Amino acid sequence: MPAYNAASAQADEIRLEDVNPCSTCGARPLGVCADLKGHELQDMACTSETVTAQPGQALFHEGDPNPFVFNVVEGAVKLYRLLPDGRRQITGFLFQGDFLGLGGRGPSSFTAEALTPMSACRFRRGDFDQLLNALPALEHRLVAMAGDELMAAQEQIVLLGRKTARERIASFLTRLSARQVQLGGAEGRVHLPMTRLDIADYLGLTIETVSRVFTQFKTSGLIQLLPNNDVALPDPEALKALGEGAA
């Protein structure tokens, strides 16, 4: 049997990363696969398939069986539930690098709908479970992401239960800005792929209230409304303080 050659093994790993599209994926730094490399990344790539959706198209609907989990590669997704009387509650917005499917294994409790042209890596739950068993780094990363998701859910409970309309919208813009900076966006600027109605349904407000508060923020200089659904934040710290109830 030939002796183990560390240099050769390292070269094989480098070649694997060179041919694996996952190694250059823009979602990888923030995604569930961030800590994988070499053969681990190759194993994950071989287990997934790429799916795409256009704005308004659902990845799956509330109440449907959903045997898949997803890692968002590009674009934005909104998650929502419908009440029996037709009212809608948006429960979250997902962006590049976010993972979809940490919930239960029964029928889906929400609808996942594309806000923009988007693509995602899709895994069958059984295959993904096998990856978790085989790749400790993947399991550790998923646990960390689940913890972040729990913290975000707790913040949302406080937002919906205690904050005023102005505080809710200030918090929303601040959090969205921080997320977009993580994705390589410019500080002090936010892109809104969602509509005012989407924002209202996420924050538990009416569309009229959202529009009124945006106008108030614009008049007071807290925000500047730009073309293409962009918003400039001239004083991010003041906006953050308002969202925390300190202003």
pLDDT in tens, 178-221: 999 988 888 899 999 999 999 999 999 999 999 999 999 999 99
Give the SS3 label for residue 53. Answer: strand
pTM: 0.86
| Amino acid (1-letter code) at residue 52 | T
Total Cβ atoms within 10 A of residue 42? 18
Cβ atoms of 205 and 163 within 8 Å: the answer is: no
Q: 79: part of which helix (H) or strand (E)?
A: strand 77-82
Residues in CB range of 9: below 8 A, 6 or more apart: none
Q: What is the pLDDT of residues 137-158, one digit of tens each?
A: 999 999 999 898 889 889 888 8
Beta-ladder partners of 119: 52, 74
* Residue 17 in this model has a pLDDT that exceeds 60: no
Candidate from 43-47, 94-98, 236-240 with smallest mean pLDDT = 43-47
pLDDT of residue 11: 42
Mean pLDDT to the nearest integer, 10-14: 42
pLDDT of residue 21: 67
HSE-up (13 A, CA, CB side) for residue 77: 28
Map tokens 């969202």 to a residue: 243
Confidence of residue 247 (pLDDT cuts 50, 70, 90): low
DSSP states of 160-226 as a string? Answer: HHH--HHHHHHHHHHHHHHHHHHTTPPTTEEE--S-HHHHHHHHT--HHHHHHHHHHHHHHTS-EEE
Cβ atoms of 181 and 187 within 8 Å: the answer is: yes
Cβ atoms of 227 and 191 within 8 Å: the answer is: no
Total Cβ atoms within 10 A of residue 35? 16
